[in-house]
Structure 1
């Protein structure tokens, strides 16, 4: 991963982004999630996860994550309202939207991030658009993987996200790309 992400704050979706939940009865971190969070912690990038779960369900899934990552799981206005993103950034004591990024595979949460004025990164293969966890993904034929990846990528770009990656293991390079785009004056 690059040395410095030049990111102000990073928000993640909980389900399907940091934690696999749904198909697999026992939740587990998504591939690369713990390594990515460790790298971001070393870089001192403030991070939070966002979800619309009840507190009990959210805490059950989040127990798999490092304790330092902040949580935002209750807002008065449901997604795609920007409230959850803004509240998460306030929890992180972020003073500017400049350089704030949301990563998720959930279209409604990504729309919330776009509505909040954040950079957005969509997850094509580990998000809800593919409808599978990493174990089931590996069991698909290469042709079926490519079909699902392509369909999800098109849907994410049609939504208006700024970048699309397959999974969190590709996040470092994507953040470096966003940093370069910011240096050139591009805004979300």
Structure 2
């Protein structure tokens, strides 16, 4: 799926992006395990980022593959770019070009923009579209669509390069970023 892409690394937000909480227990987000497996098969390095304490982050990440490294912010608050740069360094990434951050968390996305990364916002995973919340479950389909639309607009206003609803759409989004890069576009 990702084999022909010129993507050097993919950084993911942990909460809401790769992991969701159901009744207090962490679960992989829809499409997370398949996306990670495809990226690994294509030999594209991946890492998760979170701003929680390390122990809490590791508990959430326990539902993800063991091979996937992660990094807590370690006191460096978002939107500072440091966490993104440190994550790339821990992956041994040789260059910033072609690195992509995927998240629904606006502060983390701003951190990625500040670091000079391509950014993909997840409209269906952001704070206003928490699929596991009782408030979201109580909404009609029309209300959910409206909330997702507002989240999409907010992410574009933030300056992200692409917006998708869920991780299942990431392959076409990364292909679009690779195409934009091949035409000389920079983040």
TM-score by length of 1: 0.93
- List gaps (5 residues or longer) in structure 2: none
Query: SS state of the match for residue 120, structure 1?
Result: strand
Give the corresponding residue for 2:159.
Answer: 160
Name the SS of the counterpart of 1:185 in structure 2.
coil
Listed as ranges, the matches of 1:1-188 within 5 Å are 1-21=1-21, 24-133=23-132, 140-188=139-187
Number of residue-to-residue matches in the alignment: 187
Instruction: Give the drift of 1:128.
Output: 1.9
Offset of residue 180 of structure 1: 0.2
Report the Cα distance in structure 1 between the residues aligned to 2:108 and 2:84, rounded to whole angstroms: 9
Whether the aligned pair in 2 keeps the contact of 1:2 and 1:172 (CA below 8 Å) is: yes
Q: Is the 8 A contact 1:29 1:65 kept in 2?
A: yes
TM-score by length of 2: 0.94
Gaps of 5+ in 1: none
Spell out, residue by residue over 1:133-161, the C-alpha distance to the aligned partner (whole angstroms, 9 max, x if none): 39975764220121011100000000000
Question: RMSD across aligned C-alpha pairs, in angstroms?
Answer: 1.8
Farther off after superposition, 101-110 or 144-153:
144-153
| Separation of aligned partners in 2, 1:38 and 1:104 | 18
